[in-house]
Amino acid sequence: MPETHGRRRAALRDSLTDAGLDALLVTDLLNIRYLTGFTGSNAAVLVHAGGDGQTLFCTDGRYTTQSAAEVPDLETVVDRASAAALVKRVAKDWKVGFESQHVSVEEYEDLRKHVELTRTPGLIEKLRLVKDEAEIEALRQACAAADRALDDLVAAGGLRPGRTELEVARDLEHRMLEHGSAEPSFASIVAAGAHSAIPHHRPTHAELKRGDFVKLDFGATVDGYHSDMTRTFVLGEPADWQREVYDLVHAAQAAGVDAVAPGVEVSDVDAAARSVIAAAGRGEEFAHGLGHGVGLQIHEAPSLAATGVGTLSAGMAVTVEPGVYLAGRGGVRIEDTLVVRAGEPELLTLSTKNLVVV
C-alpha cells in the first residue's frame, strides 16, 4: 500500500515543519513499518520535510528483495549500520530530529559524531493514535479471527472439566491461526476457578472443574495489528454470587462502551464504568485501568484510566475491559476492542457478552 504509507509520511512532514526540523531519523521498527510497510528486523528511515524525493530508506543485504517489494516508493540504501549510514548523508546545516525514546545512549553518541540531533519523542506515536481505514480493516480482521476461534472452541467442547488451562490456551491459539491470525497478540490468558481472580494469570496445568469461572483473554494479529478480547464463562450452573458478579461487570462494561465518543476525556470513560462497580461496593476489587489503545502494539496510547490524560478522537482504537476479582474465589472480566466513531463506537469484537454456561 505505497499510497497509504505515502499519506502517513506526508502527515509526518507537517509535524516536522511545525517543529522546525529538516528531517527525522526513524529507527523504531514499528514506526518504520507504519511509515513504509517494511517488516524486516533491521532498517532506518530518514524522512525529509521536503518530500519523498529526499527521503531515504536503509536496510541490509538480507532484505534487498523484501524491501524492493515492501518499500518500492523510496530510494533505498543498503548498509548493515542503517541509522549511521543515513546520518552520514545528512547536510551539515540540516536540523534533524531523532526518536530519543527508542535510541540508547551509546547509539546516540555514535550518531551525533556525524550530525547534530534534536530530541523529538513521540512524533510518530501521536500520528498512530488515530487509525486510518487500512489500519481499522486490519484490526477488524484480527478481531474476526479471534471471534471465530472462540466460536469454534466452544462448539467443539473445548471448555470442559478435565482440560488444563494450558491445553485450552494452545487450542485457542491454534484456532486463531486457522482463521487467519499470523500469531497470537500476546500469550493467551486462560484462568479457571480461583485463578480467574488474578487479572493477568498465566495458564498452568490446573484442570478446569465444574462450577468454575473460566476467563479467556486473547487476541489475533493480522498485518501487524492486534485484537484484544476477554470473555468469562462458567462451567455448569452458576452460583448466585457468580451471576451477581457477572451481571455487575456486564453493566459496567456497557457503561464504559456507551461513554466512548469523540471529545470525551479518557478519565471520564474510566469513571463511567468504574462508578457502576463502586456503587455496588466492589470498587476495590476493580484494581486496573479500564482500557488502552491497540494497533501495531497490543498496548499503546491512549490510556483509559483514572490517571489518563487527553480526549478521545474519531478513529482511535481502544479496549474497554472492566473486571471484578474476588481473591480465592474467582473473577470476571469482559473486554471488547472498538473504534471511536461519531455517534456510537464501532464494536470489532462481536462474541456474545451474555453469561455463557458450558
Same domain? For 201 and 336 the reply is yes
Same domain? For 144 and 109 the reply is no
Give the total number of structural domains in the chain.
Answer: 2
Give me the pLDDT at residue 109, please: 81
Same domain? For 27 and 151 the reply is no
Same domain? For 41 and 164 the reply is no
Same domain? For 189 and 100 the reply is no
C-alpha span between 300 and 293 (Å, rounded): 5
Q: What are phi and psi of 11, to 5 degrees?
A: -65, -40
Residue 113 is classified by DSSP as: T
Same domain? For 230 and 343 the reply is yes
Same domain? For 159 and 104 the reply is no
Same domain? For 90 and 189 the reply is no
Q: What does the pLDDT look like over 26-45, one tens digit per residue?
A: 999 999 999 999 999 999 99
Same domain? For 326 and 264 the reply is yes
Q: Which three cell numbers stand for residue 270?
A: 474510566
How much is the pTM? 0.95
Same domain? For 266 and 163 the reply is yes
**HSE (CB half, 13 Å, CA atoms) of 340?**
28
Q: Pick from 61, 94, 128: which residue ends a domain? A: 128
Same domain? For 205 and 296 the reply is yes
In angstroms and rounded to an integer, the radius of gyration of the C-alpha atoms of the chain is 23
Residue 53 domain boundaries: 2-128
Share of the chain above pLDDT 90, in %: 94
Same domain? For 65 and 112 the reply is yes
Q: Pick from 128, 162, 195: which residue ends a domain? A: 128
Residue 284: which CATH number?
3.90.230.10
Kind plus residue range of the DSSP H or E element containing 279? helix 266-279
Nearest residue to 71 via CA among 59, 85, 79, 81: 59
Residue 34: which CATH number?
3.40.350.10
C-alpha span between 184 and 173 (Å, rounded): 6
Q: Pick from 76, 103, 128: which residue ends a domain? A: 128
Q: Is the pLDDT of residue 190 over 90?
A: yes
At 110, is the pLDDT very low, low, confident or very high (cuts 50, 70, 90)? confident
Three-class secondary structure assignment of 284-337? HHCCCCCEEECCCCCCEEEEECCCCCCECCCCEEEEECCEEEECCCEEEECEEE
